[in-house]
Amino acid sequence: MFERGRDLTARFVKGEISRREMLKGASRLGLGIATTGFLLNESMTRAMAADFDWMKFKGTKLKLLLNKHPYADAMIADLENFKSMTGMDVSYDIFPEDVYFDKVTAALSSSSSEYDAFMTGAYMTWTYGPAGWVDDLNEYIKDPAKTNPNYNWEDVLPGLRASTAWNGVPGGELGSADAKQWCTPWGFELNSVAYNRKIFDKVGVEPPKNMEDLMNVAAKVTKDAGGPYGIGVRGSRSWATIHPGFLSAYSNFEQRDFTVTDGKLKAAMNTDVSKSFHKQWVQMIQDSGPKNWSTYTWYQVGTDLGAGASGMIFDADILGYFMNGGDNKEAGNIAYTPFAANPAAKAPTPNVWIWSLALSSFSKQKDAAWYFMQWATSTEHDLFGARKMDFVNPVRASVWKDEEFRARIDKSYPGYLKQYEASSEGSKIYFTPQPLFFDLTTQWAETLQKMVAKEIPVDEGLDKLAENIDKQLKDAGIGG
């Protein structure tokens, strides 16, 4: 029965029978969903191995540095397939996000060869790339001797491919022709509004349509919901406060962090439009944000929504996704809506966070590590994660078209796909790539904290911030 099941899934993978026919056949054979899923995954792995010598590095031992995340969980759940396909052994260290990037910096800055590949975000490669800590993956992707012919790099969403490629020139366009591919996108999140339908119904409000609406709805929830506050957004003294909802809304007003003239950068966050937007954002937090906003990271923003302590969040869409499941108090009550802050904008402009995989320049087995990376970012693994695990949002266009994945999401997370489709077109990294990203963006968050605490007026705060930033850019030789 097992062998016949194997034949059946192999025929499906080859395209000889349809999904419906395969499922019917499996049920005739008495195979359960889990067994069918296992056999299907195994057949896909075998098909993947057909045209490429995956056994080339048999016996090699790889070590990975991972962040504790559902993407890593999905990879670990499928790792046996990679091991059996390649004959390689893979071990890994997993760290919580609070300390993860410090661990990466410590490992790479000491030129340690302990880890061959590691999880990273695109912003981090603006440090790792120029420092010479990660390899340009174009050298691997474009080499047919190193990359599986079925890898289909073009299937990875173009905005994500571009967002993870930079030429190393401060202010240089992401994804330009001379850009180096510092990492491969693995899973990503775009920033959008997720709200508690029960609270919204109780208060009698509709999902917000623009910034002013967002402020009003948040204020009404705070006033009338009888406990929950209006809106959860990040507020800790970190660059991570700027990149989700804040930058997504800011970009929707066509505002930038810097202007670039003749390769020189100049701070641009003190324009009139920017000041007006900052005033609205600050007001919104003062009126309807969490009381201890200045300590809020994604974790507090998410758990408050899941616990019914907030009416809505403007953060990563997958945060709303995760809070609608598991043993969260409000599971099943969370809804999603695309959000364009600027009433004159045609569509949302969400800034994105892309969990990616990078290849350490200090690895002593780079080709073998690249085998792992291309497997982990392959269509087959992406599909496995999207169908069977919580690997959302997948980075491949073909996976977004997969019926099984779409049906699962639509059933368990109503409205999520609609939100994604309305938001994805305008989604990309809206920061200007430059080497002082973490210092300067953290200073932006610090200034925002001072404004919310009424320590400094918005206009004055932004002028001072721009002045400080311009000085630092000049000192680093990249300011105009």
Distance CA 261, CA 43 (A): 53
Binding mask 89-128 for another protein (x = CB under 8 A): ------------xx--xx--x----------------xxx
Among 30, 292, 344, 403, binds another protein (CB under 8 A): 292
For 257, list phi and psi in degrees, rounded to 5.
-80, -40
For the CB of residue 164, give the shortest distance to another protein in the complex, in Å.
Answer: 17
What lies within 8 Å, CB to CB, of 201 at 6+ separation is none
For the CB of residue 173, give the shortest distance to another protein in the complex, in Å.
Answer: 19
For the CB of residue 439, give the shortest distance to another protein in the complex, in Å.
Answer: 4
Please check whether residue 360 is in contact with residue 134, taking contact to mean a CB–CB distance below 8 angstroms. Answer: yes
Tokens describing residue 66: 């991972």
Binding segment (CB under 8 A) for another protein, from list 2-10, 211-219, 231-239, 366-374: 231-239
236 touches another protein by CB under 8 A: yes
Binding segment (CB under 8 A) for another protein, from list 203-211, 230-238, 315-323, 415-423: 230-238
Binding mask 416-445 for another protein (x = CB under 8 A): -------------------xx-xx--x---
Cis peptide before 138 (omega within 30 of 0): no
Distances (CA, A) of 183 to 178, 179, 201: 15, 12, 43
For residue 120, give the H/E element and its range: strand 117-121
Among 309, 345, 347, 422, binds another protein (CB under 8 A): 309
Distance CA 324, CA 13 (A): 32
Please check whether residue 48 is in contact with residue 380, taking contact to mean a CB–CB distance below 8 angstroms. Answer: yes
Tokens describing residue 443: 């200073």
Among 27, 295, 398, 412, binds another protein (CB under 8 A): 295
167 touches another protein by CB under 8 A: no
For the CB of residue 43, give the shortest distance to another protein in the complex, in Å.
Answer: 44
In the block, tokens 């010479």 appear at: 132
For 358, list phi and psi in degrees, rounded to 5.
-125, 155
449 touches another protein by CB under 8 A: yes
Residues forming a β-bridge with 117 = 64, 359
Q: For Cα atoms 200, 205, 211, give the angle at the middle one, nearest 5 degrees.
A: 105
In the block, tokens 């200090």 appear at: 362
For the CB of residue 457, give the shortest distance to another protein in the complex, in Å.
Answer: 14
412 touches another protein by CB under 8 A: no
Q: Which is nearer to another protein, 50 or 106 (CB)?
A: 106
Binding segment (CB under 8 A) for another protein, from list 194-202, 232-240, 271-279, 337-345: 232-240
Binding stretches for another protein (CB under 8 A): 101-102, 105-106, 109, 126-128, 130-132, 236-239, 290-295, 304, 309, 435-436, 438-439, 442, 446-447, 449-450, 453, 455, 476-477
